[in-house]
Structure 1
């Protein structure tokens, strides 16, 4: 993971091709597209087999499946979601994802994820 402070804070017009990918692991990479202290949008690319391990955080999260197929688990419920689908994660609820077909998630957090910014 990169160890730098992101410079997309409160940017209003963001060109995807001007932002670098951050490597999360060998099957997952992400771009912090823009954020303020209250809101953050993150683009996350998964290769087939990539796993967003079960975790929880105090942030509200809503995610749009821009492409691919994912097995999403929230608490004890698991469902296969595909392009165009959405899932919502309340604060402090266990959740995770398994990529079934290469794809991209668009994650929105409230408030912003400070742990994504200062590594």
Structure 2
């Protein structure tokens, strides 16, 4: 199935999708090959350990996060980037409230299906 987002995503016109555990998101664009998502974390929010077959690149817009990828921990903050190879176990803890831009390839079908993501603590 071919799917495409709107051409222009005006985020002020979009409501945050509350995922629980102090995490919310807005979709910024996608098709079958790529997806970009804005993710907001409250201080202390956790992206619990998980893995997926998608390649992930993340840009830290604001805040401070401790990522762990394949057993290696690193603190990142505004302006930093994170690259996660497919199938590597990874997690993040929000040290200071902030936002991330997550990019996935291919598209995260589980996000679009309305499936509740299980890797954000409730």
Same fold (TM over 0.5): yes
Q: CA deviation at 1:9?
A: 3.0
Aligned 1:80-91 pairs, distance under 5 A: 80-91=75-86
1:19-34 to 2 correspondence within 5 Å?
19-34=14-29
Quick check: 2:21–2:46 contact (8 Å CA) kept in 1? no
Contact 1:61–1:90 (Cα < 8 Å) also in 2:
yes
Out of 15, 20, 31, the residue aligned to residue 10 of structure 2 is: 15
Cα separation, 2, equivalents of 1:18 and 1:11: 13
Q: Distance in 1 between matches of 2:14 and 2:37?
A: 11
**Residue pairs, 1:1-119, within 5 angstroms:** 9-119=4-114
State the Cα distance separating 1:83 from its structure 2 match: 0.2
Kindly indicate whether the alpha-carbon contact (under 8 Å) linking 1:74 and 1:96 is maintained by their aligned counterparts in 2: yes
d(CA) in 2 for partners of 1:96 and 1:56?
9
Greater than 6 Å deviation, 4+ residue runs: none
Separation in 2, partners of 1:26, 1:73: 19
Q: Give the superposition deviation at 1:20.
A: 1.7
Unaligned stretches of 5+ residues in structure 2:
115-122
Q: CA RMSD in A?
A: 1.2
The equivalent residue for 1:3 is none
For this pair of structures, how many residues does the alignment match?
112
Query: Is contact 1:19–1:33 with CA below 8 Å preserved after alignment?
Result: no
TM-score, normalized by length of structure 1?
A: 0.90
